[in-house]
């Protein structure tokens, strides 16, 4: 397949490397003044990967889109609304779109596929690629399982056939609402895990995993999805990579926050937490972990007080 990666951050660049490795024709597009793009263009490397000459690198969006059968978008979730109209203004007839990022729009609470479908023609199918794993592990040959989901059954199966390898086994998602909400929400739980690490309360991660999954399953159900999706690869299955890994940006953000340190990389869970609190209010779902993370981030409580109230003081029935 002819595949263009729109975005060259750590996930976009890894996906380009991976799809080239398994035999596809790959183009990486990025902003001409973005440091990540400049590094890849000038050195064919970044801090994780070396890119073969078979991968084309360009800052010309029209050229990148025109050459693609499949466009994989991997950018900040909050930038989707401003970026997708640029793509939709080009000739995208017959092309497919795959979203490889996890988030919820803060201002509207919309899922990312909902935003994309506002701008692209109805006949342009959209899918999401989510699930556990870090580029640092994949690049060392450590395998994992991921999920591809879409409203378009034919697209899901085609992508899984084309993208599967010994490094990544793909499962077919069958609940787009649950897949997107679950994938985004695990970043908020990751921030909570980092806060526990920063407070030397890592033993409470078991409770966090149990209660966090249950909390998100309630929201998914209220939104019309399958609550069991929270227990799948999009959410609970991604906890190891998000709640424990040294590579997790969201876990590290939470840890540094409680230690009074500044985290200078993208932690999507910060904006996702705002969106989840909004959705909890909209659908009348109690989200105590999400609300606590929101309160800590915004200085409404300390991490110690907020997390103690969650796990150590309240008396309630488990189920």
Decide if 58 contacts 29 (C-beta within 8 A).
yes
Q: Does the active-site annotation cover 186?
A: yes
List phi, psi (to 5°) of 99: -100, 125
Cα(130)–Cα(206) distance, integer angstroms = 23
Structure tokens at 289: 């972990």
Q: What Rg, from alpha-carbon coordinates, does the chain have?
A: 19
Structure tokens at 163: 């993208």
Nearest residue to 68 (alpha-carbon basis) of 85, 38, 45, 91: 91
Q: What is the mean pLDDT of residues 127-148?
A: 95
pLDDT above 70 for 135:
yes
pLDDT of residue 317: 76
108-112, 132-136, 211-215, range with the lowest pLDDT: 132-136
pLDDT of residue 318: 73
Band of the pLDDT at 311, cuts 50, 70, 90?
Answer: confident
DSSP-derived secondary structure letter, 169 = E
pLDDT in tens, 48-107: 899 999 999 999 999 999 999 999 999 999 999 999 999 999 999 999 999 999 999 999
List phi, psi (to 5°) of 165: -160, 180
Q: What is the mean pLDDT of residues 9-33?
A: 96
- Which strand (E) or helix (H) includes residue 72? strand 70-73
Q: What is the mean pLDDT of residues 293-297?
A: 97
Q: What is the mean pLDDT of residues 258-270?
A: 90
Band of the pLDDT at 279, cuts 50, 70, 90?
Answer: very high
Look up the CATH architecture of domain 2-172.
3-Layer(aba) Sandwich (3.40)
pLDDT of residue 315: 67
DSSP-derived secondary structure letter, 235 = T
What are the sequence ranges of the domains in the chain?
2-172, 176-313
CATH of the domain spanning 176-313: 1.10.1040.10
Coil, strand or helix at 5: strand
pLDDT of residue 266: 81
pLDDT of residue 313: 64
| Burial (CB count <10 Å: 0-12, 13-18, 19+), residue 80 | buried
pLDDT of residue 316: 73
Q: Which of 102, 156, 186, 221 is an active site residue?
A: 186
Provide DSSP, 258-309: HTT----S--THHHHHHHHHHHHHHTT---HHHHHHHHHHTTSS-HHHHHHI
pLDDT in tens, 153-210: 999 999 999 999 999 999 999 999 999 999 999 999 999 999 999 999 999 999 999 9
List phi, psi (to 5°) of 8: -130, 35
The average confidence (pLDDT) of the chain is 95
Cα(152)–Cα(149) distance, integer angstroms = 8
Provide DSSP, 73-141: E-S-GGGHHHHHHHHHTS--TT-EEEE----B-TTT--BHHHHHHHHS-TTS-EEEEE-S--HHHHTTT
pLDDT above 90 for 314:
no
Pairing, β 144-150 against β 2-6: unpaired
Coil, strand or helix at 149: strand
Q: Residue 56: CB partners within 8 Å, gap ≥ 6?
A: 26, 27, 28, 67
144-158, 184-198, 253-267, 285-299, range with the lowest pLDDT: 253-267
């Amino acid at each position: 397949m002819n595949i263009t990666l729109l975005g060259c951050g750590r996930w976009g660049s890894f996906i380009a490397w991976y799809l080239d490795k398994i035999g596809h024709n790959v183009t990486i597009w990025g902003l001409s003044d973005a440091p990540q793009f400049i590094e890849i263009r000038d050195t064919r490397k970044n801090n994780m990967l070396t890119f073969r000459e078979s991968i084309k690198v360009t800052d010309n969006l029209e050229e990148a889109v025109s050459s693609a059968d499949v466009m994989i978008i991997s950018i900040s979730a909050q930038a989707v609304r401003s970026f997708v109209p640029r793509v939709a203004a080009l000739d995208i007839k017959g092309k497919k779109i795959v979203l490889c990022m996890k988030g919820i729009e803060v201002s509207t609470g919309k899922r990312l596929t909902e935003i994309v479908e506002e701008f692209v023609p109805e006949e342009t199918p959209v899918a999401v690629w989510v699930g556990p794993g870090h580029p640092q592990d994949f690049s060392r040959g450590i395998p994992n399982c991921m999920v591809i989901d879409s409203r378009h059954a034919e697209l899901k199966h085609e992508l899984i056939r084309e993208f599967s390898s010994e490094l990544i086994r793909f499962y077919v998602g069958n609940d787009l609402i649950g897949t997107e909400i679950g994938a985004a929400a695990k970043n908020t739980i990751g921030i909570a895990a980092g806060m526990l690490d920063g407070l030397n309360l890592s033993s409470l991660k078991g409770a966090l995993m149990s209660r966090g999954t249950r909390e998100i399953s309630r929201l998914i159900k209220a939104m019309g999805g399958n609550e069991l999706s929270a227990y799948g690869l999009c959410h609970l299955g991604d906890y190891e990579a998000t709640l424990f890994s040294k590579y997790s940006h969201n876990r590290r953000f939470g840890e540094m926050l409680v230690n009074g340190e500044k985290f200078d990389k993208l932690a999507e869970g910060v904006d996702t937490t705002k969106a989840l609190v909004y959705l909890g209010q909209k659908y009348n779902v109690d989200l105590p972990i999400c609300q606590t993370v929101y309160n800590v981030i915004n200085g409404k409580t300390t991490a110690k007080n907020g997390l103690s109230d969650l796990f150590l003081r309240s008396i309630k029935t488990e189920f």
